[in-house]
Structure 1
Amino acid sequence: MGSYLNRQILRIVWIVLLFIGYQAATAFLSTASSLAGTNPDLAAKYIGLTLIASALLLWLFHWLYQKQLAKNNPRHFGHTPLTSKRLWQFILLFAIMFGIQLVWSQLIVHHILPSPSNQKLVDQGVMQLPLWNTIYDCIAAPYFEETIFRGFFLNFFFSKNTLVSNVLGVFVSGLIFGYLHTLSFNWTLLLYASLGWLLSFSYLYFKDIRYNIALHMLNNILGSI
């Protein structure tokens, strides 16, 4: 029992540290964005820090994820080939994500719900530094978030391939994903949590994190248009 608790605590620490690393890279880019209009030279240095931090983190995330799967992989996650059936299933999941975003945007347009504060920050960064923020939000961020919230989280804490473990894993992963995007309990949390639940389901269904990353990327690209 003691060894199990120690192992779980160590896993929590690892996930927290990886999330902090991801937030640090994001903070470098946010600082570059805020300086872009007043101090371009310093902004360029922070862009450099963002690129270096992101490259190191991408390598670290990939290495740790592959190492974790090699050590314990009861669900047999890995690389599954893209068949016509999986392609249509992927398109269906993306259509559901698009539908969620569309309904939510209409609720915002008609002033039924407020615009997510997280999205306001993203939009502000894109306005200040369009190219680098768009690249980061549409490529780097989906990789980091899917590896943390789906790859590591579900593999570490809900690794048993049972109905109870799968349902709880999807629910908790999506809820944490939603809360960390809002940092409050409100209706906006439900938006991000629903996207997190869909992505968690995708990970367990396809058993290949690349499908998740692609879904997340497409969703962010759609949001940036």
Structure 2
Amino acid sequence: MTRIIGRTIGRIGLLILFFIAYQLVSLLLINATNTAAKAPLVSSEFLLYTTIAGSLLLVGFMLLYRRQLRGENPRQFGFTTLTFKRVALFIAYFAAMLGVQLLWEQLIIHHILPSPQNQTMIEQAVNKLPLWNNFYDVFAAPIFEEFIFRGFFFNYFFNRKTKRTAILGILVSGLIFGFLHTLDFSVSTLLYSSLGWILAGAYLYFKDLRYPIGLHVLNNFLSII
């Protein structure tokens, strides 16, 4: 029992460490964004640091994830073959995410909900440094977040091959995903969590991290056009 508790605490610590590393990369880009107008050379240096740190973090995540898949992997996560059925279901999952986004947009337009602070900050950053922030928000952030909230999270805490474990894992993964995007408990948190639940469901169904990454990328791409 003591061994299980110690291992769980260690994995929670690792997951927090991964998230902090991801936030540090984001912080480098924020500094580049904030200095872009007044100090272009300083901004360029921060962009270089962002690229190096982001690349190293991505390689580290990929290596660790592959190591996990070769070890304890009862759900048989890995890289699956693309089929017509999988493409059709991928489209269905994306349609569900699009439905959540459209509902969210209507609630904001009709002043039922305020625009999420997270989204406002993203828009402000894009206005200051469009190319880099759009690339980061559409491609880099979804990849990092799917490794953390789906790949590592399920392998660490919900890898037992039972229906109950799957449902609980989806619920907890989505709630954490939502909370860390709003840092409070509100209706906006619920909407972010809904996207997280869809992404977690896709990961468990397809058993391939590339599918939730693809869904996340498409979702973020639509949000900037």
Query: What TM-score bracket applies, with the shorter chain setting the length?
Result: over 0.9
Residue 131 of structure 2 corresponds to 131
CA shift, 1:32, in A, is: 0.7
Aligned partner of residue 79 in structure 1, secondary structure: coil
Which whole-Å CA distance do the structure 2 matches of 1:115 and 1:197 have between them?
21
In structure 1, what is the equivalent of residue 77 of structure 2?
77
Alignment of 1:23-172 (within 5 A): 23-172=23-172
Q: Which residue of 1 aligns with 2:3?
A: 3
Amino acid at match of 1:136: Y
Paired amino acid for 1:220: N
Determine what percentage of the aligned residue pairs are the same residue.
Answer: 53
CA distance in 2, matches of 1:164, 1:83: 28
Partner of 2:15: 15
Q: After TM superposition, give the deviation of residue 10 of structure 1 in Å.
A: 1.1
CA–CA distance in 2 between the matches of 1:82 and 1:127? Answer: 38
For residues 60-81 of structure 1, the C-alpha deviation after alignment (integer angstroms, 9 at most, x for no partner) is: 0001111111111000000111
Matched AA of 2:213: I
- How many Å apart are 1:6 and its aligned residue? 1.2
- Count of aligned positions: 225
Aligned to 1:216: 216
Structure 1 CA distance, aligned partners of 2:216 and 2:150?
A: 12
1:163 positional shift: 1.1
The alignment's TM-score, normalised by the length of structure 2, stands at 0.99
Secondary structure, counterpart of 2:185 in structure 1: coil
Counterpart AA for 1:12: I
* 3-state SS, counterpart of residue 102 of structure 1: helix
Runs of at least 4 residues off by over 6 Å: none
Say which SS state the counterpart of residue 113 (structure 2) adopts.
coil
Q: State the TM-score, normalizing by the size of structure 1.
A: 0.99
**Offset from partner CA, 1:5-62 (integer Å, 9 cap, x none):** 1111111111111110000000000111111111111011111111011000000000
Correspondence for 1:197: 197
Gaps of 5+ in 1: none
Q: Distance in 1 between matches of 2:102 and 2:49?
A: 35
Alpha-carbon distance between aligned partners in 1 of 2:68 and 2:81, rounded to the nearest angstrom:
21
Q: In the alignment, is residue 181 of structure 1 matched against residue 181 of structure 2?
A: yes
Q: Which amino acid counterpart does residue 107 of structure 2 have in structure 1?
A: L
Q: For 1:164 and 1:95, how far apart are their aligned partners in 2?
A: 26
Q: How far does the alpha carbon of each residue in 1:92-119 deviate from its partner, in whole angstroms, 9 at most, with x for none?
A: 1101101110111011011110001000
In structure 2, how many angstroms separate the alpha carbons of the residues matched to 1:224 and 1:50?
21
Note the aligned Cα RMSD (angstroms).
0.6
Letter in 2 for 1:36: A
Please state how far the C-alpha of 1:138 moved relative to its aligned partner: 0.8
Structure 2: distance between partners of 1:137 and 1:95: 20
Distance 2:63 2:11 in 1: 15
Q: Which amino acid aligns with 2:204?
A: L
